[in-house]
Amino acid sequence: MDAGERLVVRSTPLADPGDLLARLPHAQALAWVRGGEGIVGWGEAARIVVPGAEDRFARAGQWLGDLFAAADIDDTVQLPGTGPVAFGGFSFDPKSSDSVLIVPKVVLGRRGGRAWLTTIDDAAGRPALLRQQLPPSRVSWSDGTLTAPQWQRAVAAAVERIREGRLGKAVLARDLRAHADRPIDTRVLLARLADRFPACYTFACAGLVGATPELLVRRVGDRVDSFVLAGTTARGTNPADDAARGAALFASAKDREEHAYAAEMVAGALAPLCTRLDMPAEPELFTLANVIHLATPVHARLEPRRSVFDVVAALHPTPAVCGTPTDVAMDLIRELEVMDRGRYAGPVGWVDARGDGEWGIALRCAEIDGPRARLFAGCGIVADSVPEDELAEAQAKFRVMQYALEG
């Protein structure tokens, strides 16, 4: 939008629109949906590419704050996600300039059984159910930046640094390339992911599509929630096998250490911003369609005048996607991964004019560019990590987006 223009925003109640993802009119989708609830959007009323810097969250918050403060807002619904909303994704590495915020012209939302439509500047509202979408076909696969043996050697190098006492944990990721015979329709991927992984947050923003199990932060008023995941095992072949694998994960000293790093960091980062913090002493098991995680729910009360961006800035990057100490782990990632993660493992989600929002960590995702896709998977490396086991864990995590692409 041109400088000096102001948004004219209208949010009105709506009869149940049905499947939110089915209402997306084209593949340039914006989405944040879990269990059938959430928001989807299309069109662009405003967009900003945030420069790479340590203060990129503060810059984004300032830009949005100015934009939303000047807007003409008529919101008769008054729920989190009504009024003007920005979808966004931030780079994992502050040195990367891949961060973006998009304010869509149209948003459809559902929360707690109530639905709404938001339009900006009289944009066209809800479309009818659309023509059949074509799934990807003839998908071929190739190595990403590192082959599997090269990545295993990177894991072994990280283990050596950890055993030398240079750091406690590092998260190493690898990428995988896919190519289809026609442009990939992100709506097909979103529908498959939402159907297969309803407990995850299915998201799309500026070509990054995925289903993340990890909630970095939800802010509604002064309440803040986070959901820490670290420590993973593949699902079993039957309920008894699942139970045995879950018990072994819960008892694993290596996985419990990895999880403790992440949970303690989240608690430490939130404490200065909050007036109250509640976190259980031990993790729980969180089971998805393909893997089992160790998980810790965190609940807090946010100090007045804090926005969701303040919390995102304090939490990112967590040890679950970077390591500890953060600076040492980040340097090791840059050295051993030999790639730019882009927005993989960075914050992804939405924020509204009240400062409410939901931000997850962009995991189990892929960058979509025409007929090409770049998938990502990462593993927490500690002193007892075995390269072969970490490769198997990464392969299990790739299967989420492989399923989305191949069905």
160 annotated active-site: no
Average pLDDT over residues 360-364: 95
Summarised one tens digit per residue, pLDDT across range 130-158 is 556 888 989 999 999 999 999 999 999 99
Q: Which residue has the tokens 């993802």?
A: 21
- Residue 3: its pLDDT value, please? 45
Bridge pairing between strands 357-361 and 347-352: antiparallel
Pick 86 or 128 by higher pLDDT: 86
User: Which tokens go with 28?
Assistant: 């340039």
Catalytic one of 214, 358, 367, 390: 214
Distance CA 277, CA 270 (A): 8
Q: pTM of the prediction?
A: 0.91
Catalytic one of 5, 44, 160, 169: 169
Are the C-beta atoms of residues 377 and 165 closer than 8 Å to each other?
Answer: no
Q: How confident is the model at residue 2 (pLDDT cuts 50, 70, 90)?
A: very low
337 annotated active-site: no
Residue 5 CB contacts under 8 Å (≥ 6 apart), including other chains: none
Summarised one tens digit per residue, pLDDT across range 205-228 is 999 999 998 899 999 999 999 988
User: Which tokens go with 274?
Assistant: 């909050």
Distance CA 191, CA 33 (A): 10
User: Which tokens go with 17?
Assistant: 């629109």
Average pLDDT over residues 52-80: 93
Domains, the chain, in order of start with CATH, read 8-123+138-406 (3.60.120.10)
Summarised one tens digit per residue, pLDDT across range 159-195 is 999 999 999 999 999 999 999 999 999 999 999 999 9
